[in-house]
Amino acid sequence: MSVPLNIKLKIKFSLENGYSNRQSVIVQKGKSESLTHIILKLFAFLYFYKSNQELIIEPRFRYRRFKPDLIAFKNPEIPQEMNSDIDIWIECKKVKISKLKKLARYLPTSKIYWFHLNHNITRKMKPILDSKNVELVEVRMRRKDQTRLENSLLNHSPIWNVKQYEPSQVIISTLNNEINVEFQVINSLSSVG
């Protein structure tokens, strides 16, 4: 039985260009939420790390009864409860296709990302693949590495060392393990401004 859990993850970025940074990220695991879902949220956060986006993980924000896993606003000075100017909306793991279709229609100037793990594309997703403002990002990782990351999150104050970062790949070390994570974009937002 799953129980709520606060995870304070320390992420240390040691990048090839000599740039180094430390950041603490706090996520809360809900009763019905899996550690895989938490990991995908953290990967989405890492994916946008160099883009200077001010992503909010697990925001207390709803739009038309929908709640994102992560969100970024176009004008971060406006309090989030008053801001309807959404720049990036991120969904992780299981998402209904109907939800993605509605978000694409309701938020035509926003960029909507769906992060999923080793997922097969089905015919039902064709309208999403053709959408101009939705991008599907497949996270590729071995099952053994996923288990290692899940176990690391259950430790007290876990630390992920991001040793290498590229837009399509991140190498993370936890304790004695080095884990390679690849991001593959299934379709592109290149036509979105």
Look up the CATH number of the domain holding residue 149.
3.10.640.10
Beta strands in the chain (DSSP E): 5-14, 20-29, 56-57, 70-73, 86-92, 111-117, 134-140, 159-166, 169-174, 177-185
Q: CA–CA separation, 92 vs 68, rounded Å?
A: 9
**Into how many domains does the chain fold?**
1
Report if residue 58 sits inside a domain: yes
3-state secondary structure at position 63: strand
Per-residue pLDDT of the chain (193 residues; tens, 9 = 90+): 445 678 888 988 876 666 677 888 888 887 788 899 999 999 999 998 877 778 888 888 778 888 999 999 887 665 555 445 889 999 998 888 888 888 988 888 899 999 998 766 666 676 676 778 888 899 999 999 999 999 999 888 899 998 877 778 999 999 888 999 999 888 765 443 3
Q: CA–CA separation, 125 vs 71, rounded Å?
A: 22
Report if residue 64 sits inside a domain: yes
Report if residue 193 sits inside a domain: no
- Six-digit token string for 84: 């309807």
Which residues span the domain enclosing 93?
A: 5-185
Report if residue 190 sits inside a domain: no
Structure pTM?
0.85
3-state secondary structure at position 129: helix
Report if residue 191 sits inside a domain: no
Report if residue 192 sits inside a domain: no
Contact 13, 173 (CB under 8 A): no
- Residue 7's CB: how many other CB atoms inside 10 A? 19
- Rounded to 10°, the helix 35-47/143-153 angle is 100
- Six-digit token string for 41: 């949220």
Report if residue 172 sits inside a domain: yes
Amino acid letter for position 157: S
* Predicted pLDDT of residue 191: 41
